[in-house]
Structure 1
Amino acid sequence: MQLSDAEWIVMNLIWDSQPTEASDVIAALGTANRWSDATIKTMLHRLVKKGALNTELIGKKYRYTAAVRRSACVRKASRSFVDRVFGGDAAPALLHLVKTGKLSEDELAELRELLNSKISDKKGSKE
């Protein structure tokens, strides 16, 4: 499922605070993004049609929950990015992100641990 930049903003809010009513999405995102109520309602409707959101009518209010996991959307968007920008080759993408990104000591340690694990896996598969 492809999400536009604006849809990512809406989905991130819903993933972080679901279940969420339309009025809460409007209050949280409308002013900061200069979006009208109608624009946000249109995005919510579009996300329901795409299958990204579930909706439930409670009284006179719509309540939204994510129908897809954030990790699945991140995986698809990441793959699409690597395919488009780096010709499907993950190594140059990773190198670029590490070289240009601002990484904390904790993030560097986590990355080091992941790389060491990958190295160990490769050594183990050769034996």
Structure 2
Amino acid sequence: MNTRNITNSEMVVMKVVWKKKTCTAAAIVDEVSKNSKWHFRTIKTLLRNLVNKKIVGYTIDENDSRVYHYFPLVKEEDYLRLERQQFVDMYYDGNISTMVASFLKDAKISKNDVKELKEVLERCIEKKDEKE
């Protein structure tokens, strides 16, 4: 899967498919239309693009052959993991500590954020220790 082929517009549709797990095109159009003014044909084109890219699959309704039920072929977490890795590789030469440091330098971080980040790092260290 090359996630760089998923456009920002297609991601709007993909988020609905991930959220609903299985749904009709009408349900996707309804959900996307809540936050956009896209024409239903635009939304259906984006959905068709995702099907052609094998990111979304579908089945045809047993009772009505005009109704398609769409479902994700790619898990959301798998997609996000790959996107994160590609981001770190492209912009930070694969160096995650440089990325985190640059984000922290530019961010306004509360004491609570710092506490949460410390907990995340501690869990990462524990996982590494368990594997060794």
| TM class, shorter-length | 0.7 to 0.9
Percent identity between the two aligned chains = 23
1:54 & 1:28 partners in 2: Cα distance?
18
> Aligned AA for 1:28?
E
Which position in structure 2 is the counterpart of 1:85?
91
> Does the alignment pair 1:11 with 2:11?
no
SS at match of 2:74: coil
Relative to the length of structure 2, the TM-score reads 0.77
Stretches of structure 1 that go unaligned for 5 or more consecutive residues are none
Assess, with a 3 A threshold, how the Cα gap between structure 1 residues 31 and 118 changes in structure 2: closer, same or farther.
Answer: closer
Post-superposition shift, 1:119? 4.1
Stretches of structure 2 that go unaligned for 5 or more consecutive residues are none
> Aligned AA for 2:28?
V
Assess, with a 3 A threshold, how the Cα gap between structure 1 residues 101 and 47 changes in structure 2: closer, same or farther.
Answer: farther
Post-superposition shift, 1:65? 0.7
Higher helix share: 1
Which position in structure 2 is the counterpart of 1:55?
58
Where do 1:30-109 residues align within 5 Å? 30=33, 32-58=35-61, 59=64, 60-99=66-105, 100=107, 105=112, 108-109=114-115
Q: Give the aligned length.
A: 123
Superposed CA RMSD in Å reads: 2.5
Render the CA deviation track for 1:53-73: whole Å, top value 9, x for unaligned.
111111121111111111111
